[in-house]
Amino acid sequence: MAQALEAARSLTFEQAAQQYFDAHERQWRNAKHRQQFLNTLKTYAHPRIGKLPVAAIDTALVLSCIDPIWQTKTETASRTRARIEAVLDWATVRGFRKGDNPARWKGHLDNVLPARGQLKKAVHHAALNYAELPAFMMALREREGVAARALEITILNAARTGEVIGATWEEIDLVAKIWTVPADRIKGGKEHKVPLSDLAVEILKALPREDCNSFVFIGPQGRGLSNMAMSSVLARMNYTSITVHGFRSTFRDWAAERTGHPNHVVEMALAHVVGNKVEAAYRRGDLLEKRRRLMAEWATYCVSNLASPTAGNLLQLRRAS
């Protein structure tokens, strides 16, 4: 009994956080999310409360972790608070502390901290107007190197950066013209099948391949491209006011204003969750053939300034290799 009491008095927040993490590690979909849990605590909580007994942590100590960044890094601060709350809940159930959780939001910290909605305005990724896209694609076609081709594939498939730079040849079926992105590399946590346009297939077929490397887009160190590689292409093209992610908005605007494709087909092409629960129940399929037609039209529009959609790419790839 005495030993148990001593353990309760001596267990630090840092130790409790590690034990909570070890017990719940499998709940995170991928390594990045697992790493983020501990990283935020190591950065914002451990320097102030990490060495303190978990039983001694009170509201003032919790606020000392999150108050300094609540105004400037609201999302990070909110996640840090939630993670501190989870660790302290675990410690209470395990008998290492007693009483209410000082990191709880409703009815407690919401009385002293402004709500996130009052502080954080939506940040939209700067996007290229779709009317300017064909000219941009023609300029991109003139760029040499794998990163430029990765950016083309990203745009043609309205994909996210992480999906493209992490793509492996095992995910791609060039005969069926399907790219299957696994669930652990999709933001929504659900496998996503991407119908590849003829242009996308031609670009992929022309890429250099290494027998010892499964990455589709190989960086200078023989690994996958860095997450800044495509942004660097934009910078070299003097497109500093737009982002890679913004091309998804370009696609969305084009589809809404220039096509008659239903909204749910476009949203599924973006790997978004479709509508409410009732609508989703009627959309259990992946609408692959409808999305294939949509992405074929998008590819045609992207290269509408080019006389030969693939010739320029193939020439640049031969030069780069």
Segment 280-299, tens digit of pLDDT: 444 555 688 999 999 999 99
Q: How many residues does the structure list for the chain?
A: 321
Give Cα 168 distance to the centre of its chain.
17
> 12-64 pLDDT, tens per residue?
999 999 999 998 887 766 666 777 888 889 989 999 999 999 999 999 999 99
CA–CA distance, 304 with 314 (Å, rounded to integer): 17
At residue 270, does pLDDT exceed 70?
Answer: yes
pTM of the entire predicted model: 0.59
Q: Which residues contact 259 (CB under 8 A, 6 or more apart)?
A: 294, 297
- Percent of the chain at pLDDT exceeding 90: 55
Strand, helix or coil for residue 134: helix
The class that CATH gives domain 130-320 is mainly alpha
pLDDT on residue 274: 58
Q: Judge residue 133's burial from the number of C-beta atoms within 10 Å of its C-beta, 0-12 exposed, 13-18 middle, 19 or more buried.
A: buried
Q: How far is the CA of 119 from the CAs of 18, 40, 169, 190, 302, in angstroms?
A: 31, 20, 43, 31, 38
Residue 192: both structure tokens together? 């996503």
Which pLDDT score is estimated for 120?
52
| Segments making up each domain of the chain, as ranges | 10-119, 130-320
Backbone φ and ψ for 276, nearest 5 degrees, come out as -85, 180
The pLDDT value recorded for residue 73 is: 83
String of DSSP letters for 253-275: HHHHHH----HHHHHHHTT---S
CA–CA dist 229, 158 (Å, integer): 17
Q: Of 108, 283, 117, nearest to 190 (Cα)?
A: 283
Q: How confident is the model at residue 273 (pLDDT cuts 50, 70, 90)?
A: low
Indicate the pLDDT class of residue 114, thresholds 50, 70 and 90.
Answer: confident
- The CATH T-level fold of domain 10-119 is DNA polymerase; domain 1 (1.10.150)
DSSP SS3 for 282: coil
The residue among 227, 234, 221, 222 whose CA lies nearest residue 148 is 234
Residues ≥6 apart with Cβ < 8 Å to 109 = 59, 62, 63, 81, 103
Distance CA 149, CA 41 (A): 38
